[in-house]
Amino acid sequence: MQTRPRPVKYRRKNKKRFVHKVKPVELPLRPYQVVLGLLVTEKGTHLSNRHNAYSFHVNLLATKTQIKKAIEELFNVRVEAVRTSVRHGKIRRTRQKFGQMPDWKKAVVKLHSEDKIDFM
């Protein structure tokens, strides 16, 4: 049995929430503008202890090569690989209004086996 199509008035609009709006233009960012902070999580601690990889909160406009150069310059270490992911902001509710947290970029940086970053 075929159902009637939903009227245009009640059709769901496409979610544009997951469309990444940042232009892929490479801007001249300084190292302290690229790396915004360290991510201290249970998974990140496990990665740093076992695999010599560290998680950082980085600028949305930063590329992998910029992240690599910034980590090498700021911490004086040798970087082997950089993995990045764009984390989409969660929807939050305040009373009757819904808002969205901003998107942010996470970078997992793997270091040379002889290098280590000590944050304590």
Structural domain of 74: 27-111
The residue length of the chain stands at 120
Indicate whether 107 belongs to any domain. Answer: yes
Say how far apart CA 93 and CA 112 lie, in whole Å. Answer: 43
User: What's the structural domain count of the chain?
Assistant: 1
Indicate whether 78 belongs to any domain. Answer: yes
What does pLDDT average to over the chain? Answer: 88
Helices (H), the chain: 31-34, 42-50, 64-75
More confident site: 86 or 8: 86
CATH number of residue 68's parent domain: 3.30.70.330
> Six-digit token pair at 115?
């290098």
Indicate whether 79 belongs to any domain. Answer: yes
Task: List, for residues 6-53, the tens digit of each pLDDT value.
Answer: 777 776 666 555 566 666 667 789 999 999 999 999 999 999 999 999
List, in sequence order, every beta strand (DSSP E) within the chain: 35-38, 53-58, 79-87, 91-94, 97-100, 104-111
Indicate whether 5 belongs to any domain. Answer: no
**What is the rounded average pLDDT of the residues 65-83?**
96
Dihedral sign for Cα 35, 38, 41, 45, please: positive
Give pTM, 2 decimals. 0.75
More confident site: 112 or 23: 112
